[in-house]
Amino acid sequence: MARLLVIDDDRSLVELLSDYLSRAGHEVTGAPDGQRGLAAAAETRPELVILDVTMPGLDGWQTLARLRASDTVPVIMLTARGDEAEILRGFAAGADDYVTKPFSFAQLSARITAVVERTSSGRHPSEILHGADLEVDTIRHRVLRAGQPVELTPTEFAILVTLMRQAGRVLSARQIVTEVWGSEYMEETGYIRRYVWHLRQKLEVDPRQPRYVLNERGIGYLFPAVD
Amino acid sequence: MSLSSTNRTQPPPPSAARLLRMLRWALPIALFVIAVVIEWGEHVRIEGESVSPSFFVETALFGLIGPTVIFLTLSWVVRLLDAYARTSDELAEVNRDLEAKISQRTQHLEVATAQLASANDDLAGANEELRQLDHLKSEFVSLVSHQLRAPLTNIRGALEIIADAPEGLPPASRRPLEILALETDHLSGLITKILDVSRIEAGRLSLSLGPVAVEPLLVRACGSTFGPARGRAWQVQTAPGLPPAWADEMLLEEVVRNLLENAALYAPSEQPLAVIATLNDGHIRVAVEDHGPGIPSDEHELIFGSFHRIGDSDTTASGYGLGLYLAEKLVSAMDGTIHVESPIWPDQDGPGSRFVFTLPVTPDEPRGLDDESDDT
């Protein structure tokens, strides 16, 4: 299915992953450290790299940075649980996804398939939405306003993405609720006002004069279309 | 400390006292001599009288009575002064004693203060040592857990590879392998929880607060905890018009999952678990109710401690005593409270428990600043 490169100093993991992923139809190469991983990447031209963060010598971040200097190959990082800062750092450095140890091979395999499909379908590994000076990465769940990160909760993020995907169209509260929570909550539109108010507090430069999440009185909300 | 600054009348200087003693004698003698000279001059020289009995009487009258009165008065003053001087001396003595005592006590006090300061230093040192030990313990637990993750990933992976081709296995090894897979999942769960706890204890928990629609979150948490495979019945009841909570969505879901897992561990699987959300006293109140064996009242507080489990390890379910601890830490971090009520049913066999946590309500947006939206 895909040419994969696994870079991890844990030789048992490399061996087991190679076995598991080969059975799933992938062609797997392993490398025991960052330096040899870079060499293998240059040689085998993988379609996806699985990269461990904690390695002696050249660690996962340094390896990723060197890999990114010359290549756009998608990378899934193997990180430690709970290190959100590390995960954000990984995304900023150009990682495409991550799994935390201990992970299940089936979970990693599903991530590999998703990332490879995104990449091979010709789309950018991430779907990035733009609007004015706002940049929203729907895969990495990252929002940048004028280049600065804005922290949103998952639901606030989902509301923003719903509006941005249909920029220029006014969406009723019912439509937004259905999109974000599901049709069984269609009648629970009372939430939306508060969500939008708090979303504006975090997102807008001046929440009293919103630029991103606008209101059409009596109809609903809209994200203005990009000119 | 000294009393020298207090108000005291100083005794007369020694020279003044000496003068007064001299005057006590000199003044009456001088007056006597003057009286004799005046009487002699008056009677003998001016009036030409001879030294007569009347001369002696007058001389005695003027020359002795006045000086005697003056002598006696001065003697009384001198006695007073002497008494005053003695009192002053005694006072000074007492004062000196007092000062000595104060100085002694001050010294004692200083010694005691120094000892106290030293004891305080020792205590602070011991405290710091304990803090460092606690930190070391957390670091150690975290390190061990991190170190365990790699082999555990490999064990899980190896088991997944074996499970992918079960037809090649001898029948006798299938069940042990299933148990191995189950235990590996348990161990993974434990390590994940330990890492979460050490993250909170190390103050590395970052909150992303915002409005949280309660019902969808509870339904999602129940769904992800009890997938179809678990065969556990559950129901979520939410009060109509419940406002959104003000919380961290991901952490809140983790709290609910921990409470559900805990309930599932102890309550019989044929009884449904209920999750009930209401608005109570301006707070969101979420209750997880089970029909389990209940929790003795003396355990109600302890149950939220780390690694605390009810009963002895032989009779308890296979929890690790971290879920409730984690739930309590997370709820507290989100400005909420958590407690347990038990028993809750009049049922001897299944008195049940109700784990209740509260969270703040999302503050209402100021009216007039925001706009209205229609839900049509």
Number of domains in chain A: 2
Contacts of A217 in chain B (CB under 8 A): 371-373
Contact: B213, A82; criterion CB under 8 Å = no
Question: pLDDT confidence of B374, banded at 50, 70, 90?
Answer: very low
As a whole number, mean pLDDT of residues B218-244 equals 86
- Residue B368 belongs to a domain: no
Report if pTM > 0.80.
Answer: no
Among the residue ranges A65-79, A110-124, B93-107, the one predicted with the least confidence is A110-124
Both A96 and A196 in a single domain? no
Task: Please check whether residues A145 and A108 belong to one and the same domain.
Answer: no
Same domain, A73 and A177: no
Q: Nearest residue of B to residue A10 by CA position? A: B150
Cβ-Cβ pairs closer than 8 A, A with B, add up to 139
The reported pLDDT for the residue numbered A126 is: 55
Which of A80, A106, A173 comes nearest B160 by C-beta?
A: A106
Is the per-residue pLDDT at B101 higher than 90?
yes
Residue B373 lies in a domain: no
Choose from B38-52, B147-161, B191-205, B310-324 the range with maximum mean pLDDT.
Answer: B147-161
Asked which of B138, B170, B204 is the last residue of a domain, the reply is B204
Residue B322 lies in a domain: yes
Same structural domain, A15 and A114:
yes
A173 in contact with B, Cβ within 8 Å: yes
Residues A82, A187, single domain; the answer is no
Within this chain, do residues A100 and A132 fall inside the same structural domain, yes or no?
A: no
User: What mean pLDDT is predicted for residues A116-144?
Assistant: 77
Top pLDDT among A88 and A198 is at A198
Of A41-50, B193-202, B294-303, the one with minimum mean pLDDT is B193-202
CB distance B216–A218 less than 8 Å?
Answer: no
Give the tokens for residue B43: 């009677």
Q: Which residues of A touch B156 (CB under 8 A)?
A: 102-105
Beta bridge partners, A27, equal A3
Domains of chain B: total: 2
Query: Could you tell me the pLDDT band of residue B124, with boundaries at 50, 70 and 90?
Result: very high
Does any domain span residue A7? yes
Point out the domain boundary residue: B204, B232, B264.
Answer: B204
End residue of a domain, out of A120, A153, A187: A120
Q: Which of B208, B249, B374 sits opposite A218 (nearest CB)?
A: B374
Same domain? B28 vs B118: yes
Residues B184 and B245 in one domain: no
Residue range B48-58: mean pLDDT, rounded? 76
pLDDT band with cut points at 50, 70 and 90 for residue B5: very low
Both B246 and B183 in a single domain? no
Shared domain for A42 and A112, answered yes or no, is yes
Where is mean pLDDT largest: B172-181, B268-277, B352-361?
B352-361
Q: What is the pLDDT of residue A121?
A: 64
Q: Domain containing A92 — which CATH number? A: 3.40.50.2300
Do A19 and B211 make contact, defined as CB atoms within 8 angstroms?
Answer: no
Domain boundary residue among A120, A150, A176?
A120
Query: How sure is the predictor about B103, in pLDDT bands with cuts at 50, 70 and 90?
Result: very high
Contact B210 A215 (CB under 8 A): no
3-state secondary structure chain B: CCCCCCCCCCCCCHHHHHHHHHHHHHHHHHHHHHHHHHHHHHHHHHCCCCCCHHHHHHHHHHHHHHHHHHHHHHHHHHHHHHHHHHHHHHHHHHHHHHHHHHHHHHHHHHHHHHHHHHHHHHHHHHHHHHHHHHHHHHHHHHHHHHHHHHHHHHHHHHHHHHHHCHHHCCHHHHHHHHHHHHHHHHHHHHHHHHHHHHHHHCCCCCCCCEEECHHHHHHHHHHHHCCHHHCCCEEEEECCCCCCEEECHHHHHHHHHHHHHHHHHHCCCCCCEEEEEEEECCEEEEEEECCCCCCCHHHCCHHHCCCCCCCCCCCCCCCCCCHHHHHHHHHHHCCCEEEEECCCCCCCCCCCCEEEEEEEECCCCCCCCCCCCCCC
- Give residue B12's pLDDT: 62
* Bridge partner list, A128: A137
Greater pLDDT, A84 or B357: B357
Domain that holds residue B37: 1-204
Q: Which CATH number covers residue B252?
A: 3.30.565.10
Q: Please state the length of chain A.
A: 227
Q: Would you call A174 an interface residue with chain B, using a CB distance cutoff of 8 Å?
A: yes
Across A105-119, B60-74, B195-209, B332-346, least confident range: B195-209
pLDDT at B319: 63
Does residue B70 share a domain with residue B106? Answer: yes
Distance CA A50, CA B241 (A): 47
My answer on whether A138 and A112 are in the same domain is no
- Mean pLDDT score across all residues of chain B: 84
Give residue B213's pLDDT band: very low, low, confident or very high (50, 70, 90): very high
Does A105 lie at the interface with B, CB-CB under 8 angstroms?
A: yes
Query: Per the domain annotation, does A34 fall within a domain?
Result: yes
Chain A partners of B250 at a C-beta cutoff of 8 Å? 154
**Minimal-distance CA residue of chain A relative to B364:** A194
Q: Are residues B239 and B277 in the same domain?
A: yes
Q: Which of B149, B181, B204 is the last residue of a domain?
A: B204
- Rounded to a whole number, what is the distance in Å from the CA of B300 to chain A's nearest CA? 29
- CB contacts of B370 in chain A (<8 Å) are 193, 196-197, 215
Q: What is the mean pLDDT of residues B55-77?
A: 83
A81 and A157 together in one domain = no
Q: From the list A13, A172, A197, which residue is nearest B370 (CB)?
A: A197
Among chain A residues, CA nearest to B239:
A188
**Per the CB < 8 Å rule, is B192 touching A155?**
no
Q: Is residue B105 part of a domain?
A: yes
- The verdict on A12 touching B (C-beta cutoff 8 Å) is yes
- The mean-pLDDT minimum among A24-38, B48-62, B272-286 falls in B48-62
Whether residue B18 sits in one domain with residue B101 = yes
In this predicted model, what pLDDT tens digit does every residue of B234-267 receive, in sequence order? 999 999 889 999 999 989 999 999 999 889 888 8
B244 CB neighbours in chain A (<8 A) are: 191, 194-195
A28 and A115, same domain (yes or no): yes
Strand pairing class (A75-80; B273-280): unpaired
Instruction: Give the pLDDT of residue B125.
Output: 94
Which of A10, A84, A98, A153 to substitute to test the interface with B, most B CBs within 10 Å?
A: A153
Overall average pLDDT of the B47-53 stretch? 76
Chain A: give the shortest CA distance to residue B367, in Å.
Answer: 11
Task: Give pLDDT tens digits for B300-349.
Answer: 888 888 777 666 544 445 566 788 998 999 999 999 999 999 898 888 88
Band (B10; pLDDT cuts 50, 70, 90): low
Range of the domain at A29: 3-120
Residue B2 has pLDDT above 50, yes or no: no
Interface predicted TM-score (ipTM) of this complex, two decimals: 0.72
- Residues from chain A that touch B243, judged by Cβ atoms under 8 A, are 190, 194
> For position B334, what pLDDT does the model report?
93
The CA distance from B191 to B147, in Å, is 10
**Top-confidence residue, B287 or A227:** B287
A22 interface with B at CB cutoff 8 Å: no
Q: Looking at the structure, tell me whether residues B286 and B196 fall in a common domain.
A: no
> Do the chains contact at A154 and B249, CB–CB below 8 Å?
yes
Give yes or no: residues B187 and B300 share one domain. no
Task: Say whether both B244 and B162 belong to one domain.
Answer: no
Same domain? For B195 and B247 the reply is no
Residue A128 class from Cβ within 10 Å (0-12 exposed, 13-18 middle, 19+ buried)?
Answer: middle
The partner residue sitting opposite B369, judged by closest CB among A82, A154, A208, is A208
User: How far away is chain B from the Cα of A190, in angstroms, using its nearest Cα?
Assistant: 8
Residues A113 and A148 both lie in one domain:
no
A132 & A204 share domain? yes
Question: Does residue B365 form part of some domain?
Answer: no
If you average pLDDT over residues B266-290, what whole number do you get? 91
A14 touches chain B (CB under 8 A): no
Distance from CA of B195 to the nearest CA of A (A): 7
| A227 in a structural domain | no
B-facing residues of A in 179-198 (CB < 8 A) are 181-182, 185, 188-198
Cross-chain Cβ contact B375/A192 below 8 Å: yes
| Residue A216 counted as domain residue | yes
Q: Decide if B199 and A82 are in contact by the 8 Å CB cutoff.
A: yes
For chain A, the average pLDDT equals 86
Mean pLDDT in residue range A143-171: 90
pLDDT of residue A141: 79
